[in-house]
Amino acid sequence: MILPFPREFAEDAAERSIADVAQARRLLVSLAPGLTAALARRRAVLAPLIGPRDAARVERTEAAVELAYARLAVRHGSWGQDFHAYHNEQHILEIFDSRIARLMQAAGLQALSLDDWLLLGLFAACHDLRQREAPMYSAGVGSNERASIEEGFRILDLAGFDRRRDAAFYTGLELMIAGSTFDARPPAQDWEYNSVDLVQSGGALASKLDAKLDKHVPGWREDPVLQHALELALVAADLDTANVAEPFARFVETGMRLCQEREMRCHRETGDPASALPVFGFLTDGQERFFFELHRFNSGLGRTAFSDAKQANAQPLKALTMALRARVAASGKPASGNAVIEAMRTLTREMEARSLR
């Protein structure tokens, strides 16, 4: 490991329940055929970069993605008992099958090497594997991210990667996941640790990784592998937060999923009256603060692929939050968080319908 951390994270029940790639693939056949199609699309796009000596490495990467997907689906997704509305297997596909494809189209396939594209796919699959670790930070890296790095390494091992032969994959994955840590300010004392609240608190560690490496890894600037891994970490952080550049209705939906996960982690049901004002605040002030004040793209490739689409969402977001505030002011305090979410969905549909006239 490159950056220090005071503890290690052992295998948990979800990891033990899907112990290898073969077991993951048996589950994926019936439960997630969409992933198989996404992997096939990615392999077809990468075909111009894949030579005879690269095929085994591509196959190892696909195996790792499959295992990570199945693990997250069991741990925090639709296959298990601890569903997270945002940090689940759908988020893997949002990055792997959509945002990386947009990056390829905007920047061109030749903008990165085959191994770089493979690493970005591994990041998509592995960066949110753990979401329930007790809060702890070292070198700016959060405990969820550190646990995800450690499990990600075990997944690479099981998929056939070798820590010596493929050292750049392990280095790249570590810095990319570490860089996805958001501002490490603690949540309010009366709330459970909640990575969604950290999304509202500041930007990704990736923009500060160089300073962390200066402190903890003297001489890293003379190491081309670490230099390149840092560059990829900046791109990965942009992919992770590019929900701000999704088509507007999809962008709004990601915000509502984040909100639903936040309420779950705060031990509130969105159907309860107690959730009404927190949901309203998250979907108005919180969304605006993140979009307009906190979020920045960190890499040139990220800006090329996503800045225009983010800018296109700026005015609609202002209009939507203003309309939601006006509706609540006119009708009084909402009955529940669900009422706020449904009002936002209705307003979004109305805006979309007007834009098509």
pLDDT tens digits, 183-229:
544 444 444 545 555 444 557 899 999 999 999 999 999 999 999 99
Token pair for 243: 């929900």
- 120/239 Cα distance (integer angstroms): 9
| Token pair in block for residue 330 | 């006119």
- What distance in Å separates the CA atoms of residue 280 and residue 287, rounded to the nearest whole number? 10
**22 or 189: which leads in pLDDT:** 22
Residue with the two structure tokens 């990319």? 176
Q: Is it the case that residue 104 has pLDDT exceeding 80?
A: yes
The pLDDT score that the predictor gives to residue 357 is 72
Residue 52 C-beta-side C-alpha neighbours within 13 Å: 0
Q: Is the pLDDT of residue 241 over 50?
A: yes
Summarised one tens digit per residue, pLDDT across range 284-312 is: 999 999 999 989 999 999 999 999 999 99
Model pLDDT, residue 192? 52
Nearest-10 Cα torsion for 128, 131, 137, 142:
10
Rounded Cα–Cα distance for residues 129 and 125 (Å): 8
The model's pLDDT over 52-95, given as tens digits with 9 standing for 90+, comes to 999 999 999 999 999 999 999 999 999 999 999 999 999 999 99
Categorize the per-residue pLDDT at 340 as very low, low, confident or very high, splitting at 50, 70 and 90: very high
Report how far residue 240's alpha carbon sits from residue 142's, in angstroms, rounded to the nearest whole number.
16
Neighbours of 224 (CB within 10 A): 9
